Structure 1
């Protein structure tokens, strides 16, 4: 007998449960053989789908399938693959402590499950919802197999704070097109669910096979090699896995607590540290090594502990932007494209492979931008302010190249790049999901913005070492240094380090004209939906613009602020 839908209670409707397909014998007292299918959500803590899997369970098999696309592996480069495999190895160690193991397979999920259902006599399959539309076909095929084989299939929401489909439904069947509206709709659903307890495997068999074929493969086995020596000689090492994520979470919570005591929120934004050890949780959230609800409630509860009042929305703003972009991508399979994307303006970007490659390989001649791109390729992570700066430089700020090209680079190199959030950020900064208050040259000057973010020049000296002896006065614009200064620094511009790829002043003025033309286009397409900021303050909070920086931080390189002779708006 088949019951295709089990409706959740009102208490859990917006929290975790999405849909349960059930096909089972009439006897409800039998013991299940469960497969928990890992995709994202690479953890034991706060894993509601896993908890459903161990209910009435006699034997439990955790499974991960390398299908060529899972978790963005289709586009992933060396660092992203390493982070993923580290996460799987950590998960495997956790199951080995319980007497089991993580089973890793390579191939099509339907083909693999068809065999495993028979070989292991599986009665239940559980997995965390992957909310992005690119995973829907894969999941539907597996659900159909479960129906055919009379296997209970349970899918739970825990990769996001709310189910994006419920937010869309609450908003009249369409995603909220502004961040402010999104927050209003989300709040109407009630607060996110609190983290769930750790699973208790007492009395449950976790079979282990002494077979190398089921183990987590190595990078070498998969044929994945580093592009450059720096990828194995990282200054900051980002390590994957739930164990590291939970340790880092405790560190991050202490940082948040100190910020709240100082009457600040978002300390990683208000006190930008470009060269310190990793404290961002973004990569761990992307792979699900850390639960999003654990981080959310960790921040909210810490704020309440310190301030004795409810946390403001600004305390969790970065997590809300993540939710917003997941919701905006709902049912939009073209979300990461220009063509066919209903929320994206089709801006007539230029095509220039030479400029694109110079940007990618840190050869633009703007040290701030080059440092960012070198860190990205070498380590797989860059700070949010750096992401905004280099994205603006590639698109509407200087080079006027398509954000799609930049997105492809981030998909390959950025540890935390996922399909929807990364694309949403690129569209936003490139003004392609249109807004009219974030325009160059009033935002990201590739010299002055770098000075504000890296006032001592330590970041540039680390990631553009050819400039390490350049005096601070000329470090952000080395082409302005007298020849004697360049010689003493052992770095001749045009020989040891490239000249600027563009004249920023001229490029900014030209691109401003292009953007004005796009604005005229928007006027003719008044009904075009767009994800947009609601006001200037929201822009500043999202992009960390100069007027929102800590006034106590002094620009130590202020004597170079007028090197480009451009306006100071």
Structure 2
């Protein structure tokens, strides 16, 4: 028997690793492991855990219609596999690549276990079009600036053909078994009250993307993030759609995701250290009281506060607003970008380590292709440009323009001058 291990690929359709497993000579046991090492860091009503479980239920329902089922476990993956190997004769374990530092270490440890049992560990590229060193400079070194990376990405894309892997047509190869399908309660979690918005890749949204994407009140984002994060949709289908619509802006957003993923692959230290080391010399104020006000959306800067309240209530924040709140934390409050990155990691439905770290370092000026440190968003000017009628802001701050809305916690001009002085002392 072979095992297929679902991870960041929670779908039966167009799943590369699953396709290869189902095309092997053996029957396949499909499994998912709720990793207790990851779950132990999350609140019991985490919306992402609810989302994952809902995707697993969809897979389970589809399998049950064919008299099959998905095995769902909870524990340390090494311990789960050790137990499975003691109960079953396994020839190979199939899965799809995962590129984050924790996943790389986990897979290395598991591979050692499989080697001692003479089991093949066969992994496939599924969640990206290009991975690792597939898009690099002519000398083999990684790109650290987005524009040349995206040009090379598109050049390489012209040379390949997008393939559909019809894993959904081979489900008869899945074996009968008696392993459980665990509920949220079984793993110590409860259903979140946060609703995940269905994604939208309609022609209308994509064609108007450039014109509407910077205005949060219009709510014209695709909401694809969480679906790509957990592989509930195929990246090949999403890219094919962007190409078919001939929309460069939407396509570029998908390429940004891969840019940051290859950065994390080549420079894993950037998970918690600045890509530009001299930026780690910045003397952050790290005022906990001000950080708390930022988290709660009580800074007295309406655009910042609206964004943080949206995040806390829904697990989502508009991309334009993410830039504004991140710049405000790092530049106005002089609080370490890692504090903001960590808070977003707790709250964002579409949290993706590579993109989150990449974007926070962009805001702080310390990352690849970063904004220069002297570029400091003026939150009031941003309102005039992107929410001049206050539609977005008033949705999240009903007490705006009343005595109960707080006064600004810092003065923009003073904060800007302090930031420039502090950064200049650190980085020259």
Same fold (TM over 0.5): yes
Aligned: 1:415 with 2:349: yes
Query: Cα offset for 1:372?
Result: 0.7
Query: Cα offset for 1:512?
Result: 2.2
Map of 1:511 onto structure 2: 419
Aligned: 1:336 with 2:271: yes
Equivalent residue of 2:299, what SS?
A: coil
Equivalent residue of 2:393, what SS?
A: helix
Is the contact between residue 344 and residue 433 of structure 1 (CA under 8 Å) also seen in structure 2? no
Q: Equivalent of 2:380, from 427, 447, 472?
A: 447
Aligned: 1:254 with 2:203: yes
Q: Equivalent of 2:102, from 122, 126, 134?
A: 134
Query: Cα offset for 1:125?
Result: 1.1
Distance in 2 of aligned mates of 1:222 and 1:161:
33
Distance in 1 of aligned mates of 2:226 and 2:16:
21
Aligned: 1:465 with 2:398: yes
Map of 1:484 onto structure 2: none
Map of 1:181 onto structure 2: 148
Does 502-511 or 401-410 show the bigger shift? Answer: 502-511
Distance in 2 of aligned mates of 1:69 and 1:426:
25
Distance in 2 of aligned mates of 1:394 and 1:369:
9
Instruction: Give the alignment of 1:267-306 within 5 angstroms.
Output: 269=213, 272-274=215-217, 276=219, 279-303=222-246
Map of 2:173 onto structure 1: 204
Is the contact between residue 194 and residue 293 of structure 1 (CA under 8 Å) also seen in structure 2? yes
Distance in 1 of aligned mates of 2:304 and 2:271:
24
Equivalent residue of 2:223, what SS?
A: coil
Map of 1:215 onto structure 2: 181
Is the contact between residue 40 and residue 159 of structure 1 (CA under 8 Å) also seen in structure 2? yes
Q: Equivalent of 1:381, from 312, 316, 329?
A: 316
Greater C-alpha radius of gyration: 1
Instruction: Give the alignment of 1:363-382 within 5 angstroms.
Output: 363-382=298-317
Equivalent residue of 2:201, what SS?
A: helix
Map of 1:390 onto structure 2: 325
Is the contact between residue 65 and residue 107 of structure 1 (CA under 8 Å) also seen in structure 2? yes
Distance in 1 of aligned mates of 2:277 and 2:52:
31
Instruction: Give the alignment of 1:18-167 within 5 angstroms.
Output: 33-69=1-37, 74=41, 78-167=46-135
Segments of structure 2 that go 5 or more residues without pairing to the other structure are none
Query: Cα offset for 1:152?
Result: 2.5
Map of 2:284 onto structure 1: 349
* 1:530-552 Cα shifts (integer Å, max 9, x gaps): xxxxxxxxxxxxxxxxxxxxxxx
Distance in 2 of aligned mates of 1:193 and 1:117:
38
Query: Cα offset for 1:320?
Result: 1.4
* 1:2-42 Cα shifts (integer Å, max 9, x gaps): xxxxxxxxxxxxxxxxxxxxxxxxxxxxxxx2211111111
Distance in 1 of aligned mates of 2:51 and 2:211:
25
Is the contact between residue 338 and residue 345 of structure 1 (CA under 8 Å) also seen in structure 2? no
Distance in 2 of aligned mates of 1:321 and 1:205:
36
Is the contact between residue 99 and residue 208 of structure 1 (CA under 8 Å) also seen in structure 2? no
Query: Cα offset for 1:51?
Result: 0.4
After superposition, the Cα gap between the structure-2 partners of 1:216 and 1:450, relative to the gap in structure 1 and judged at 3 Å, is farther
Distance in 1 of aligned mates of 2:36 and 2:384:
42
Equivalent residue of 1:335, what SS?
A: helix
Map of 1:427 onto structure 2: 361
Query: Cα offset for 1:166?
Result: 3.0
Distance in 2 of aligned mates of 1:140 and 1:377:
36
Query: Cα offset for 1:401?
Result: 0.5
Equivalent residue of 1:167, what SS?
A: coil
Is the contact between residue 253 and residue 298 of structure 1 (CA under 8 Å) also seen in structure 2? no
Query: Cα offset for 1:424?
Result: 0.5
After superposition, the Cα gap between the structure-2 partners of 1:295 and 1:69, relative to the gap in structure 1 and judged at 3 Å, is farther
After superposition, the Cα gap between the structure-2 partners of 1:93 and 1:333, relative to the gap in structure 1 and judged at 3 Å, is same
- Give the number of the structure with larger relative contact order, counting CA–CA contacts within 8 Å between residues 6 or more apart: 2
Equivalent residue of 2:27, what SS?
A: strand
Is the contact between residue 322 and residue 421 of structure 1 (CA under 8 Å) also seen in structure 2? yes
Q: Equivalent of 1:325, from 260, 284, 288?
A: 260
Map of 1:30 onto structure 2: none
Distance in 2 of aligned mates of 1:382 and 1:73:
25
Query: Cα offset for 1:202?
Result: 5.6
Query: Cα offset for 1:146?
Result: 2.2
Segments of structure 1 that go 5 or more residues without pairing to the other structure are 1-32, 260-264, 304-310, 471-490, 521-569
Number of aligned residue pairs: 424
**Structure (1 or 2) with the greater helix fraction:** 2
After superposition, the Cα gap between the structure-2 partners of 1:502 and 1:45, relative to the gap in structure 1 and judged at 3 Å, is same
